[in-house]
Amino acid sequence: MKTHLLSAALIALALPALAAGTVDTSSWNQGGGEQDEALHLTPNHENGIEVYEVCSACHQLNGWGLDDGTFPQIAGQHYNVIIKQLADIRALNRDNPTMYPFALPSEIGGSQSIADVAEYISNLPMNPNPGLGAGDDLEHGAQLYKDNCVRCHGENGEGDNEKFYPRIHGQHYNYLVRQYQWIKEGKRRNANPDMVQQIQTFTERDTLAVLDYVSRLKPPAEMVADPDWVNPDFDW
């Protein structure tokens, strides 16, 4: 087993488009480099398993992360989104200094490995019991989501693979809150600038309510694992 740890949220999946509005893809998703290379490669499933063994130390063998928000659920995330986020971290377009040394090509391989692990993760079944918020302001959260988030993330938080908008349904509430704050404070340099601008007007109540609502959005049943599911690729 590889012993290197991809720590602090490997492919810490962002919310680059939580807010509605016109998206300037040239500013937050310029592409190029390893992102474009990986997107044009045919994934190797067996190598994806090997690379994911490194990731599993933080994201767990099932890809479900931790509900305290330290590590996000990455299972079932869009293939293109995973490639973008990992390529951005490696290119220093997204700051993640704890993860960065372990995400280097010398540790996990080049563009082919990005494609391989992205394919593997995108096909893992999702967590049936993600961490939730308090559940005490959901009507307000639902309205905020309808008014601000649907255009990019969809009615049910399903995102859009082709547009690089991540799935946010089924994500841990505490992780959503942490990433949202980093985007608002400018720590997520690869975030959609439309979102960065729009959420500046959100109050603390708005933030907690909408993210609590998001954490309760349900992925399609066929994408969700049974609560006792164990990843057979690591069932030794």
Q: In DSSP terms, which residues pair with 165 in a beta bridge? A: 160
Tokens (6 digits) for 119: 């394919």
Closest CA to 73 of 232, 233, 210, 224: 224
Is 149 annotated to bind a ligand? Reply is: yes
Contacts of 169 (CB under 8 A, 6+ apart): 156, 157, 158, 214, 217, 218, 219
User: Does the annotation flag 58 for ligand binding?
Assistant: yes
Q: Is 152 annotated as a binding residue?
A: yes
Check whether 153 is labelled as a binding-site residue. yes
Q: Angle 126-173-190 (CA atoms, 0-180°, nearest 5)?
A: 85
How far apart are alpha carbons 159 and 138 in whole angstroms? 21
Does the annotation list 195 as a binding residue? no
Residues within the annotated binding site for heme c? 55, 58-59, 99, 149, 152-153
Q: Annotated binding site, which residues?
A: 55, 58-59, 99, 149, 152-153
